[in-house]
């Protein structure tokens, strides 16, 4: 599955040579800052790699609309609500239900740190709080803070540990919180209506999740979890906020700026497998009398982890709008930190004009010239997509590649700079 996806993305990148791509799966590099007090790896809160990695799998499944328990979606889910004229065709599936969206956003564990060094554990930054500078307002141990943990995080931990939010999606995982499971900064400059206060900044942008609610006990049972928030949905939910979504559970249904998320004032019962419909008629104002009840399976509601498994198309559109416009969202995926990169919203002329190859056709060497000095990563792939040459170069305007090992034929040169990514055809004679 993953392998197939990678090759699809590669073929799509090749198509940039001739066409502009407007819809593309975006791969967003994640760095997880795991804060601990010197415990052995695998002893809470120094979470095991398997628990951390499982969260990325949950994010990818949930944002593709294929996450755990998605098969529970009722065959007639919200079909009466969907007949409302305000619901667009794109929000419905073939059964006339409100559709479970594929957001076309995916995530990877970042391969490199901010200096370009390969991370021994991709996407993971372990931090012993004892080694951090003194916090003038209190202890350095996040486990000592309850709901006021946000002050500690925003004023101290995040500014001390954040990686460049133009390149990485920062996630902090710590003990503490006193019942708060997670919180996110909202996207600045998104152009979206209805964005609450609490915008991310250069020193705070990202998501925090309580350590026992990070990762999935389904995927990595050997971790430390707080049931019923043990299936990675806290991070899915907070990442939704980070992309500009608000909660759906309120009434009227339009209060989240998405028409296809039926709201309701129903108090959400705990536990799994709630019966559908739930809370029929509890939201009477807009756009109808909640004929199918509220969308308790939506990630932006308040169900337990096991009972939430969908975003809607309007929510996906809203997230992609933030992704395309917000300063700390729009360049994520363009720095070669994932095995594949995101090209959504990148202008074709920028891609094509940011580097040249000469001579081309080439014989035993060729040179890549970049418009401005920067760190670049170069991959030369053969016609079936296999990487033949890989090279990284820092602060460079020109990079010479020895081609003597390449046999005659057609190749594709994939160049990832700090603010662009592109592919050009190369002929070896
Ligand atoms: Zn929330």
All domains of the chain in start order, with CATH: 2-330 (3.40.390.10), 349-428 (2.60.40.3080)
Give percent above pLDDT 90 in the chain.
Answer: 65
Q: Confirm whether pTM is higher than 0.95.
A: no
Q: How far is residue 279's CA from residue 261's CA, in Å, rounded to a whole number?
A: 14
Phi and psi angles of residue 17, each rounded to the nearest 5 degrees, phi first: -60, -35
Phi and psi angles of residue 34, each rounded to the nearest 5 degrees, phi first: -100, 115
Residue 237 CA to ligand 1 center (angstroms) comes to 6
Residue 301 CA to ligand 1 center (angstroms) comes to 8
Q: Is the pLDDT of residue 345 over 90?
A: no
Catalytic residue among 238, 379, 390, 418: 238
Q: Is the pLDDT of residue 386 over 80?
A: no
| Residues in a beta bridge with 369 | 356, 398
Residue 81 CA to ligand 1 center (angstroms) comes to 24
| Mean pLDDT, residues 117-132 | 97
pLDDT of residue 194: 92
Instruction: Report yes or no: 338 and 383 within 8 Å, Cβ to Cβ.
Output: no
Residue 198 CA to ligand 1 center (angstroms) comes to 13
Residue 349 CA to ligand 1 center (angstroms) comes to 39
Residue 80 CA to ligand 1 center (angstroms) comes to 27
More confident call, 168 vs 291: 168
DSSP state of 143: G
State yes or no: is 238 an active-site residue. yes
Q: How far is residue 377's CA from residue 267's CA, in Å, rounded to a whole number?
A: 52
Residue 234 CA to ligand 1 center (angstroms) comes to 8
Give percent above pLDDT 70 in the chain.
Answer: 86
**DSSP E strand boundaries for 242-386:** 355-358, 365-381
Residue 208 CA to ligand 1 center (angstroms) comes to 12
pLDDT tier at 370 (50, 70, 90 boundaries)? confident
Which residues are CB-neighbours of 195 under 8 A, at least 6 positions away?
186, 187, 244
Which residues are CB-neighbours of 131 under 8 A, at least 6 positions away?
none
Residue 217 CA to ligand 1 center (angstroms) comes to 21
Max mean pLDDT range (58-67, 387-396, 409-418) = 58-67
Average predicted confidence (pLDDT) for the chain? 86
Residue 300 CA to ligand 1 center (angstroms) comes to 6
Q: How far is CA 412 from each of CA 17, 52, 415, rounded to the nearest angstrom?
A: 10, 34, 10
């Amino acid at each position: 599955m993953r392998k197939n996806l990678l090759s699809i993305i590669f073929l799509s990148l090749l198509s940039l040579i001739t066409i502009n791509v407007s819809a593309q799966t975006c791969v967003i590099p994640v760095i997880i800052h795991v804060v601990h007090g010197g415990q052995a790896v695998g002893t809470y809160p120094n979470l095991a790699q398997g628990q951390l990695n499982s969260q990325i799998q949950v994010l990818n499944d949930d944002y593709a609309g294929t996450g755990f328990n998605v098969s529970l979606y009722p065959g007639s889910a919200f079909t009466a609500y969907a007949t409302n004229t305000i619901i667009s065709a794109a929000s419905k599936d073939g059964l006339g239900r409100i559709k479970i969206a594929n957001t076309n956003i995916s995530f990877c564990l970042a391969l490199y740190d901010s200096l370009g060094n390969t991370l021994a554990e991709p996407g993971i930054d372990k931090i012993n709080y004892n080694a951090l500078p003194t916090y003038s307002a209190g202890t350095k141990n996040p486990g000592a803070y309850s709901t006021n943990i946000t002050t500690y995080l925003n004023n101290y931990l995040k500014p001390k540990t954040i990686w460049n939010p133009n390149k990485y999606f920062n996630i902090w995982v710590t003990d503490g919180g006193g019942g708060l499971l997670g919180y996110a900064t909202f996207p600045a400059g998104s152009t979206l209506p209805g964005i609450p206060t609490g915008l991310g900044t250069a020193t705070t942008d990202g998501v925090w999740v309580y350590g026992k609610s990070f990762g999935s006990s389904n995927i990595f049972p050997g971790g430390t979890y707080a049931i019923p928030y043990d299936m990675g949905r806290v991070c899915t939910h907070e990442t939704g906020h980070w992309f500009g979504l608000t909660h759906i559970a309120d009434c009227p249904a339009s209060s989240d700026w998405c028409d296809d998320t039926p709201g309701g004032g129903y108090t959400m019962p705990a536990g799994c497998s709630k019966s559908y419909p739930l809370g029929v008629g509890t939201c009477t104002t807009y756009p109808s009398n909640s004929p199918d009840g509220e969308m308790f399976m939506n990630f932006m509601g308040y169900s337990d982890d096991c009972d939430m498994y969908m975003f809607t198309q309007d929510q996906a559109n809203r997230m992609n709008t933030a992704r395309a416009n917000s300063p700390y969202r729009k360049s994520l995926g363009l720095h070669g930190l994932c095995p594949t990169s995101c090209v959504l919203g990148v202008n074709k002329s920028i891609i094509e004009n940011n580097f040249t190859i000469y001579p081309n056709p080439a014989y035993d060497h060729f040179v890549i010239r970049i418009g401005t000095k920067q760190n670049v990563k170069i991959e030369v792939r053969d016609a079936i997509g296999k990487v033949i040459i890989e090279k990284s170069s820092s602060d460079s305007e020109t990079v010479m590649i020895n081609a003597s090992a390449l046999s005659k034929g057609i190749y594709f040169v994939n160049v990832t700079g700090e603010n662009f990514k592109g592919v050009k055809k190369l002929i070896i004679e």
